[in-house]
Structure 1
Amino acid sequence: MSKPFDMETFLAGVLTGSHATRQRHLRQAKTIQAEISERWNRDTPWGWKRKHVAWFLNYRLSQHSEATRYYYLLTVRLLAYRLEKSWSFNL
């Protein structure tokens, strides 16, 4: 029996800034994880590919404001940094 993936532990080493900023990144990372898990059955960021994250940014956030998309992009950059990936996205 496996434990559910803990996003907070995953991002602990790369989260910086104020408490509110860290909480926002965690909340958004959990949202990204849930959406990718539901759509692609990829439960952990280790199984994600660039196309999964691009799908989230382009389709799941398409109805959100520019500011919301920007903040999610910052979280995605943090996830990519933690995964040691060189992903880049344009909004």
Structure 2
Amino acid sequence: MSKVFDMDLFLAGVLTGSHASRQRHLRQAKIIQAEIAQHWQRETPWAWQRKHVTWFFDNRLKHRSEATRYYYVLTFRLIARRLETSWVFKL
């Protein structure tokens, strides 16, 4: 039996800003995690590769507004900072 991954705990060290911003990042990170887990069977961010995140951005956000994509890019940057990777995502 495996434990459920806790995105709140994962991002706790890198989340800053207002309460609303932190909640938005957590909500978006959980959506990202669920979509990647469903499509790629990668449950945790440590198992993700850049192609998984790029797939989410290109396929799941392509019909969203610029503002929505911008906020998801900010969330991706927090995840990348937590993973200590050099992933760069354009706005």
TM-score of the alignment, normalized to the shorter chain, above 0.5: yes
C-alpha offsets along residues 32-66 of structure 1, whole Å, 9 cap, x if unaligned?
A: 00000001000000000000001111110001000
CA distance in 1, matches of 2:76, 2:27: 12
Q: Normalised by the size of structure 2, how large is the TM-score? A: 0.97
Shift of 1:90: 2.1
CA distance in 2, matches of 1:26, 1:46: 17
Provide structure 2 residue ranges, at least 5 long, that are not aligned to the other structure.
none
Provide structure 1 residue ranges, at least 5 long, that are not aligned to the other structure.
none
Stretches (4+) displaced over 2 A: none
C-alpha offsets along residues 3-24 of structure 1, whole Å, 9 cap, x if unaligned?
A: 1000000000100000000000
Q: Tell me the amino acid that sits aligned with residue 57 of structure 2.
A: L
Q: Tell me the amino acid that sits aligned with residue 5 of structure 2.
A: F
Between Structure 1 and Structure 2, how many residues are aligned?
91
Secondary structure at 1:43 match in 2: coil
Q: Normalised by the size of structure 1, how large is the TM-score? A: 0.97
CA distance in 2, matches of 1:74, 1:62: 16
Percent sequence identity over matched residues? 71
Q: Tell me the amino acid that sits aligned with residue 75 of structure 1.
A: T
Q: Which residue does the alignment assign to 1:34?
A: 34
Q: CA RMSD in A?
A: 0.7
CA distance in 2, matches of 1:78, 1:84: 10
Q: Which residue does the alignment assign to 2:52?
A: 52
CA distance in 2, matches of 1:69, 1:58: 10
Q: Which residue does the alignment assign to 1:72?
A: 72
